[in-house]
A and B are shown apart, each in its own frame.
Chain A
């Protein structure tokens, strides 16, 4: 057994784990973070995607011990102060989920895509989500949701930096 310390969705945990424990198993079985799910055993489906220090990872592809000393955000920690994240809101409004099983991973990955590219083209969204499988939606509405969230987030960020009125932010609005 190995001791690990981890912050998950803003809460600090210190636990003894078997070294072979996957991060997703630790999240689900030790912490009860069952919002994050397992869809395959070959790291193809992405249903278990979480953020590790702000970057998306497939938590079935990370050992719990590798996350020692790091910060993890799961789907359960995405909404802040009762407010849905713009990506969550867009998934709801665009009907980007049906059974909802891929949804936690899909949303976490979509956040990562938008973090790296706030104004992606349809093709860039499609390529950014390639590692996350969905069997219900045919991806059509997922792509729409990410486009919508990109719009919401860019207008929010330009609104918050409106006083600065930087050329970059006005570009983001026009694009």
Chain B
């Protein structure tokens, strides 16, 4: 034991705010990875699923005899064989007490409600043998009529689940007059109808597929006292709870591990039929088993996102000041109420009003079942849908009033000095500065110059028109205050847990209840703990994703990990310091009140005596010389339950060039200035923004899950579900303003979903802006060239023949003349 007499003269520069490269990378860039599918256990069997090709059917018979005789096949199970132990895939969020929720069995027993549902499971020596045998399982189906379209479902003419008697799952309302947070919406609409402006629009949120890169995989080893499940999941703790709640296995007998997980985006915020079926087979056979899906299986079986129709009525005064907003939402849940399921559209209820000061507001939601893949959280979950609607509407209002869309926003947004501000939906935004973010974004974008170019192109009838799209978004994230979740009938809390273990040799283990899958928590948490405890960044090890190591947690989704999870880490660190102070005071022979902790050293006020944190940790470990009666530990746990959400915001500006002759659009420039409060690691934040932007842009331009009239997913692989590639995208200009959150000590706000929430309306607004002069005010997403071209053709003011030239390079005297083609063109 040495007691340092010299305290460090120079405190190290803070880790928080540094663009630290990630600790996680070394393994990932060298192929030293632990994806679930990499795991091999002795005697492990491999599973293949037999899936329904029909969208809606009853199962009349299953003949497994041929499959059972196939090489290497150990067993074939039907739903009937597993029904005593397979459990059920539950929903955690019945949005109302009256919600109708059909039982969702992991392996169907008698009824399938969407194509791709599992009807039998083959266990064999190799994955190839299991797949071969799955082809030999003979299932007799009696096909039932399927309801596939959301608006058809609302008519209740064909039922997705005949036993429910209706396709309606639940209805849910937020009314500002009813809850006392604002005025009466019908009055506002009536007033606007008399002498104001009423914008009525119906927008479509197409169905999307999360399309994480790692297909889902589950390994179950039932040979220990605890059954161990490795799974490619965002939610190991939630999964453990759901297994215990429905399979009869005690929670204490289940260990769930999320090893390296290759992306999620909400798509792995689920407890899946595949996980439950794999567990059931492992228990039946008392053997370790593995199931890894093919990409085609991901597409039909992993949950989808979005899928809403939005009927919107915005009331405003003649000068463009908004007065009321009414939302009538229809949401397609697919065949079953998924884990969050019906609650996803509810999350939009507080966000349609966004940053604008409406006096009256009403949100009405009806959730419906159809015979399609189930729908649940996908990056943003409820908030991108709401943001899309309001940001599109603000552009429509600007067009109606005849002013710049930024001007109409400025007229209506909450100003910097009005925070904290309680909105018409009843949510209190703690901080923000929409003026500052917008000013910065305009400057980086060259807003005025691009507007001038747009005007010039309009005036010259340029076949390539320029559009500028705006999205001044906010979101609520950091899920979530447990009391609010309780009031909304959600089945769990929103707290997060952390532990810090001070090891004898000076390194630190941080256990976090969140479960990262690409976000870089190991790096960011290390930076936070290094600053808090004054230990080197390299000496902090962040552990997560295993219920045996991190026994308490609510996992990773809803941009919650930093604002809730890291706050728990901060509070655990504070407790470590308080405990260590007592030891330090004892060793320095000083009063605890005279001990100051700074930059990793406990010092005595007014002296140069000090002792470092690692020295205190070692002294505690030996226990040789501690205060009388002190428990020999400075380790600490903390659980943090936030009082409010966090409200990141930002201004996104997008310039799109639209070829009015082909409908093709090209992104010219994208600038975003996001305010996510204080930033722990700018490098990681930029990465989150870039990825979010592209997912949101992809909704606007390329992606959409499409079914045929039999209920077959025709975008069932990466051939047809067109994810953007590097060649489709551009480099972005990103920046920040800083309005710290007041609800956590780090002042951080979530960033995981921001880009994805903001970018979709920015892109569509830009395309509509480019072709608004053709009488276009809406284009369905994804805005394919065909849709854009058709919208232009349908527009009110399509120029007549000869009003403008075909293409500039056919003009006389300009380069790249093609006389042959020009001659052909003139003949046509």
**Interface of chain B, main secondary structure:** loop
A-B contact pairs, 14 of them (CB 8 A): A20-B128, A35-B33, A39-B215, A39-B295, A40-B295, A75-B30, A95-B21, A98-B691, A99-B214, A126-B725, A129-B725, A130-B725, A131-B725, A139-B690
Q: Which of B682-729 contact A (CB under 8 A)?
A: 683-684, 686-688, 690-695, 717-719, 723-727, 729
Please tell me which one of the listed residues B24, B687, B731 contacts residue A136 in the complex, with CB atoms under 8 A apart.
Answer: B687
Contacts of B723 in A (CB 8 A): 133, 135
| Assembly CA distance A44 to B722 (angstroms) | 10
| Assembly CA distance A127 to B729 (angstroms) | 10
Binds B, one of A61-69, A86-94, A153-161, A166-174: A86-94
Contact A126 B732 (CB under 8 A): no
Knowing A76-B31, A136-B263, A142-B726 touch, does A99 contact B213 (C-beta < 8 A)? yes
Chain B residues bordering chain A, tally (CB within 8 A): 56
Contact B690 A141 (CB under 8 A): yes
Contacts of B261 in A (CB 8 A): 99
Contact A137 B691 (CB under 8 A): yes
Q: Which residue of A lies closest to B267 (CB)?
A: A135
Contact B690 A140 (CB under 8 A): yes
Min C-beta distance of A46 to chain B, whole Å? 10
Contact A41 B211 (CB under 8 A): no
Q: Is A84's CB within 8 Å of the partner chain B?
A: yes
Q: Is A59's CB within 8 Å of the partner chain B?
A: no
Q: Is B32's CB within 8 Å of the partner chain A?
A: yes
Knowing A99-B262, A137-B687, A138-B693 touch, does A40 contact B718 (C-beta < 8 A)? yes
Contact B725 A133 (CB under 8 A): yes
Contact A138 B690 (CB under 8 A): yes
Q: A36-B31, A141-B686 are in contact. List 9 more A-B contacts (CB 8 A).
A: A41-B294, A47-B213, A76-B30, A92-B22, A95-B21, A99-B261, A100-B25, A101-B214, A101-B262
Contact A129 B726 (CB under 8 A): yes
Q: Is A72's CB within 8 Å of the partner chain B?
A: no
Contact A42 B719 (CB under 8 A): yes
| Assembly CA distance A28 to B217 (angstroms) | 15
| Assembly CA distance A137 to B726 (angstroms) | 10
Contact B717 A75 (CB under 8 A): no
Chain A residues bordering chain B, tally (CB within 8 A): 57
Contacts of A99 in B (CB 8 A): 212-214, 261-263, 517-518
Contacts of A76 in B (CB 8 A): 30-32
Q: Which residue of A lies closest to B379 (CB)?
A: A135
| Assembly CA distance A67 to B140 (angstroms) | 42
Contact A98 B518 (CB under 8 A): yes
Contact A35 B214 (CB under 8 A): no
Most buried by B among A18, A130, A134: A134
Contact B726 A139 (CB under 8 A): yes
| Assembly CA distance A100 to B265 (angstroms) | 14
| Assembly CA distance A75 to B460 (angstroms) | 53
Q: Which of A92-141 contact B (CB under 8 A)?
A: 92-93, 95, 97-104, 107, 122, 125-127, 129-141
Q: Is A150's CB within 8 Å of the partner chain B?
A: no
Contacts of B32 in A (CB 8 A): 35, 76
Q: Is A23's CB within 8 Å of the partner chain B?
A: no
Contact B213 A101 (CB under 8 A): yes
Contact B727 A135 (CB under 8 A): no
Contact B31 A75 (CB under 8 A): yes
| Assembly CA distance A37 to B30 (angstroms) | 12
Please tell me which one of the listed residues B29, B724, B755 contacts residue A97 in the complex, with CB atoms under 8 A apart.
Answer: B29
Q: Is A45's CB within 8 Å of the partner chain B?
A: yes
Contact B260 A139 (CB under 8 A): no
**Interface of chain A, main secondary structure:** loop
| Assembly CA distance A143 to B212 (angstroms) | 20
Contact A37 B687 (CB under 8 A): no
Most buried by B among A42, A137, A139, A142: A139
Q: Is A38's CB within 8 Å of the partner chain B?
A: yes
Contact with A along B591-625 (1 / 0, CB 8 A): 00000000000000000000000000000000000
Min C-beta distance of B763 to chain A, whole Å? 13
Q: Which of B779-812 contact A (CB under 8 A)?
A: none
Min C-beta distance of A169 to chain B, whole Å? 28
Contacts of A102 in B (CB 8 A): 213
Please tell me which one of the listed residues A97, A126, A139 contacts residue B25 in the complex, with CB atoms under 8 A apart.
Answer: A97
Contact with A along B667-692 (1 / 0, CB 8 A): 00000000000000001101110111
Contact with A along B13-54 (1 / 0, CB 8 A): 000000001101111111111010110000000000000000
Q: Is B520's CB within 8 Å of the partner chain A?
A: yes
Q: Which residue of A lies closest to B298 (CB)?
A: A40
Q: Which of B240-267 contact A (CB under 8 A)?
A: 260-263, 265
| Assembly CA distance A107 to B33 (angstroms) | 15
| Assembly CA distance A101 to B33 (angstroms) | 9
Q: Is B519's CB within 8 Å of the partner chain A?
A: yes
Min C-beta distance of B527 to chain A, whole Å? 14
Q: Which residue of A lies closest to B260 (CB)?
A: A100
Contacts of A28 in B (CB 8 A): 38
| Assembly CA distance A136 to B729 (angstroms) | 13
Contacts of A107 in B (CB 8 A): 29
Q: Is B296's CB within 8 Å of the partner chain A?
A: yes
Q: Which residue of B lies closest to A9 (CB)?
A: B31
Contact B212 A44 (CB under 8 A): no
Contacts of A135 in B (CB 8 A): 211-213, 263, 265, 691, 695, 723
Q: Which of B172-201 contact A (CB under 8 A)?
A: none
Knowing A42-B717, A100-B260, A135-B695 touch, does A91 contact B38 (C-beta < 8 A)? no
Min C-beta distance of B206 to chain A, whole Å? 18
Contacts of B296 in A (CB 8 A): 41-42
Min C-beta distance of A84 to chain B, whole Å? 7
